[in-house]
Amino acid sequence: MTGWSCLVTGAGGFLGQRIISLLAEEKGLQEIRALDKTFRPELQEEFAKLKHKVKLTLLQGDILDEQCLQRACQGMSVVIHAAAVIDVSGALRREVLMNINLKGTQLMLEACVQMSVPIFIYTSSIEVAGPNSYTEVIQDACEAQNLESKWAAPYPYSKKLAEKAVLAADGRTLKNGGTLYTCALRPMYIYGERNRFHSAQVNEALQNNRVLAEFAKHSFINPVYVGNVAWAHILASKALQDPKKAPTVRGQFYYISDDTPPQSYSNFLYTLSKEWGFRLDTRMKLPVFLQYWIAFLLEMVSFLLSPIYKYRPPFNRHLVTLSNSVFTFSCKKAQQDLGYKPLYSWEEARQRTTQWIGSLVNLHKEALKAKVH
């Protein structure tokens, strides 16, 4: 385990930057390369503070640029591929998601083969498994059930095909004659500081007298803290470098959860923000089946208008299903094979996230003061 090096793609993202921070604490790690299309100035400053711990190189490049990927992979022993575009509302063109999430992954695998990088860890998604129907109850599910999303929506579809490509690539012969080892991690809904979905919901509530939209009260999910997901990636990297563990882990996928209490998406955000005076919208909502069929009609309107006008519905059937399903998973296989244990307890994860939400509240207050003056 001494003298290894790691390339992290999507390093400027919510998860990627946490992976980098934890990697910097690893003894025996010689170099970290952080690849992303752009790095915000404040993140560059944060990464600069890590350079006294480990050699850290920031690389700006496109996941679809084959030469860039090969340069990034040169001399690396592990690739953690966390780069992806997340879109469940249909805001982006299908082609964008298929290119970055699927083609980008395929190009990254090929770069590993050409540059003889022996280990590839893929950040997959819980959406690869579903949910396929809001009426179906999936609780404490495990890998052996082989659940698979049936949605043609670009995000789950692109992630599903990319994961299949990663797992199928295990055992490929590298250019130097070595063998490629791969595995994939499927985290639950990831929360924590700098989660842009939380940020958007909190800022929206701040504009609405701190009333949180209760968009998903019928869901039941087990969220996972971003620090624990990052930790699972590092453990997977170590497991595939361990001659005893690697044969078990190769070509496998793992659900990653922690001890965060299962609850609805809406209640979860309320749990994290109530300390700052936020409250849930208690107004009556349309029944889920009605939301689903309205979404279907809106999708039909979008399809019929598509030759002459690009109409994006405010919500779709995939989003309605995602927001109203019972869908929880066990991480026992990751515990057994990877030695995974959450690095952060629920209490610590809650405190950290709640404090960050408090910082958003303070920023909002300062912005209001600035307007007044």
Q: Is residue 168 predicted with pLDDT exceeding 70?
A: yes
Nearest-angstrom CA–CA distance, 98 and 161 = 9
For CA atoms 287, 293, 296, 301, the dihedral sign is negative
Answer yes or no: is 201 within a domain.
Answer: no
Q: Residues 260-283: pLDDT tens digits?
A: 999 999 899 999 999 999 999 888
Residues with catalytic annotation?
Answer: 155
Q: Which domain holds residue 126?
A: 4-195+224-259+329-344
Average pLDDT over residues 158-175: 98
User: Does 26 fall in a domain?
Assistant: yes
Q: How far is residue 203 CA from its own chain's centroid?
A: 21
Find the angle CA(258)-CA(259)-CA(264) to the nearest 5 degrees: 95
Tokens of 277: 């005076």
| DSSP, res 102 | I
What is the reported pLDDT for 368? 82
**Domain-located, residue 148:** yes
The pTM is what?
Answer: 0.94
- pLDDT range class, residue 2, cuts 50, 70, 90: low
Q: Per-residue pLDDT for 373 more than 70? A: no
C-beta of residue 321 within 8 angstroms of C-beta of residue 127? no
State yes or no: cis peptide before 287, omega within 30 of 0: no
Enter the tokens of residue 10.
């999507």
Q: What is the pLDDT of residues 300-357, one digit of tens each?
A: 999 999 899 988 898 899 999 999 999 999 999 999 999 999 999 999 999 999 999 9
Give dist(CA 217, CA 349) in Å, integer: 22
Q: Is the pLDDT assigned to residue 285 strictly greater than 80?
A: yes
Under 8 Å between Cβ of 58 and 39: yes
Residue 298 lies in a domain: no
In a domain, 281, yes or no: no
pLDDT above 90 covers a percentage of the chain that reads 86
pLDDT for position 107: 98
Domains in the chain, number? 1
CATH number at residue 77: 3.40.50.720
Q: Is there a domain that residue 310 lies in?
A: no
| Mean residue pLDDT across the chain | 94
User: Do the domain assignments include residue 46?
Assistant: yes
Residue 153 is assigned to a structural domain of this protein: yes
| pLDDT for 286 | 87
The model's confidence at residue 217, banded by pLDDT at 50, 70 and 90, is confident
pLDDT over 80 at 1, yes or no: no
**SS3 labels along 207-270:** CCCCEECCCCCCCEECCEEHHHHHHHHHHHHHHHHCCCCHHHHCCEEEEECCCCCCECHHHHHH
